[in-house]
């Protein structure tokens, strides 16, 4: 039976992720145990790792510096499937404008930049609301990714809640984007066994469950 660690580092709606993963495993026909944990040993023993989170980059960086960060990097280097959600994507980069001086995992080069308020949609002329909150459609980049194909591919609507956007130095890791007024949003990044989304699969109904099913099968 596969062990899935949902990492608790002090922020995020973890129960909704746990319920969605359990439902997705049933849909995928995969026997698994999903456990919310902050225990480094439990995280290291897991077959799959999920890092969700809504909250402040400073709090996330503080938790990473206390030891969870090193465990996550070891899991990633081991080749085990890793899924980051929202802050779980942003923490993979070097830094964030939200918390100068605090470091992410630096798995990917780049930083998280604030989506500036007061900007106008170039088509409608209306002021774009920040945070970027609600349903938005994604567009696949390059070869896309099997998880994104599983949930519907380009044009699929998924649920976003964020005020910062990850800007990758290496654009080849960006596998999906979304348009929010004048902003091109990094919707998902991937490399090898790592996949992370700015959108929330656990809040994205059938499409999100399909993505999570593909992850638990991986």
Out of 132, 141, 145, 202, which one is annotated catalytic?
202
Residue 157 a catalytic site member: no
Residue 202 a catalytic site member: yes
User: What is the CA 115 to chain-centroid distance, rounded?
Assistant: 17
φ, ψ of residue 196 to 5 degrees: the values are -145, 140
Q: What distance in Å separates the CA atoms of residue 216 and residue 218, rounded to the nearest whole number? A: 5
Out of 18, 48, 60, 86, which one is annotated catalytic?
86
Instruction: Go through the chain and tell me how many residues it has.
Output: 218
Residue 141 a catalytic site member: no
Place of tokens 């949003």: 185
User: SS3 of 90, please?
Assistant: helix
Q: What distance in Å separates the CA atoms of residue 111 and residue 102, rounded to the nearest whole number? A: 11
Out of 48, 162, 180, 200, which one is annotated catalytic?
200
User: 3-state DSSP helix/strand/coil percent for the chain, to nearest 5?
Assistant: 35, 30, 35
H or E element: which one contains 189? strand 183-191
Of residues 189, 28, 146, the one with CA closest to residue 199: 189
Kindly state the tokens that stand for 7. Answer: 């990492």
Catalytic residues: 86, 200, 202
């Amino acid at each position: 039976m596969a062990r899935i660690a949902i990492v608790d580092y002090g922020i995020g709606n973890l129960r909704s992720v746990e319920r969605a993963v359990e439902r997705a495993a049933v849909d995928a026909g995969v026997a698994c145990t999903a456990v919310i944990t902050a225990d480094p040993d439990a995280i290291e023993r897991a077959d799959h790792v999920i890092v969700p989170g809504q909250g402040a980059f400073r709090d996330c960086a503080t938790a990473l510096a206390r030891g969870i960060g090193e465990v996550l990097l070891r899991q990633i280097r081991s080749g085990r499937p890793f899924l980051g959600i929202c802050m779980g994507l942003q923490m993979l980069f070097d830094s964030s404008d939200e918390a100068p001086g605090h470091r992410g995992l630096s798995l990917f080069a780049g930083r998280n930049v604030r989506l500036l308020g007061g900007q106008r949609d170039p088509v409608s002329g209306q002021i774009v609301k920040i945070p970027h909150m609600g349903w938005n459609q994604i567009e696949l980049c390059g070869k896309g990714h099997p998880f994104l194909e599983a949930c519907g591919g380009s044009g699929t609507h998924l649920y976003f809640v964020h005020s910062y956007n990850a800007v990758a130095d290496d654009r080849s890791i960006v596998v999906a984007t979304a348009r929010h007024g004048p902003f091109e949003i990094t919707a998902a990044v991937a490399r090898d066994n790592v996949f992370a989304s700015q959108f929330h699969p656990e809040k994205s109904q059938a499409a999100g469950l399909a993505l999570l099913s593909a992850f638990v099968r991986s």
